[in-house]
Amino acid sequence: MKILFFCMMITFLISLIVMMLASILSKKTFTDREKISPFECGFDPKSSARMPFSIHFFLIAVIFLIFDIEITLLIPLIFILKISNMMSFLYITFFFMMILLMGIYHEWSQGALNWTF
C-alpha cells in the first residue's frame, strides 16, 4: 500500500513539475502589434480576422451528426433480423424509428430546420 501511495505521489509531482515548466516556458514575453495582427501580404487587414459564421449552419451540422450516428445504429438491426424473434425485432425497430421521428419533429417544430438568410 505504501508503494502504491509513493508511486502516486511521484507521478503527481512529476506531472506538476512538467505543467509548471510548460506554463513558464510558453509565456510570450514580447507582445508587438505587428506580431499579433493577421498577415495579409504585408498590408493592414481590410476586415476583421475573426469572421462570424452562421449559427443556422452550425445547428444543421449538429443535427446531421446526431441523426447520422443514429442511422449507423440501424445497420446492426439488419444482422439481428436473422437470429431474433420477428415480433421483438419489429418492436425494437418501431421503437427506434419512433425516437428518430420524434427527434426530427422536435427539431422541425422548434424551427431549427428552417434556413433563413
pTM: 0.46
Annotated domain spans of the chain: 55-110
Give the N- to C-terminal CA distance of the chain in Å, as an integer: 64
- The dihedrals phi and psi of 40, each to the nearest 5 degrees, come to -135, 75
Selected residue with higher pLDDT from 63 and 12: 12
Residue 62 has pLDDT above 70, yes or no: yes
Place of cell 508511486: 7
At 70-111, the pLDDT tens digits run 878 888 888 888 888 888 888 888 998 898 889 888 888 888
Residue 13 has a pLDDT of 95
